Amino acid sequence: MEQSSSYKKTIQHQYDALAKKTLKGEAKNYLIELAKRATREVCFSELCESELNRLYVLDEYESDFIRFQVSGYDVFVRNALLGEALETLSERKRNIVLLSYFLDMSDAEIGQLLNVVRSTVFRHRKAALAKIRQYMEGKADENQ
Pick the CATH number of 63-143 from 3.40.640.10, 1.10.10.10, 3.90.190.10, 3.30.390.50: 1.10.10.10
Directed axis angle between helix 118-143 and helix 80-88, to 10°?
130
Q: What is the pLDDT of residue 90?
A: 92
Tell me which H or E stretch contains 70: strand 66-70
Q: Report which of 93, 98, 119 is spatially closest to residue 108, judged by C-alpha positions.
A: 119
The pLDDT averaged over each successive group of 10 residues in the chain (144 residues) is 82 94 96 92 86 85 86 88 92 93 92 92 95 89 72
Q: What is the pLDDT of residue 1?
A: 57
Return the domain boundaries, the chain.
5-50, 63-143
Three-state secondary-structure class, residue 36 = helix
pTM of the predicted model, to two decimals?
A: 0.60
Give CA 126 to chain center in angstroms.
33
Q: What is the pLDDT of residue 144?
A: 65
pLDDT of 87-98, one tens digit each?
999 999 999 999
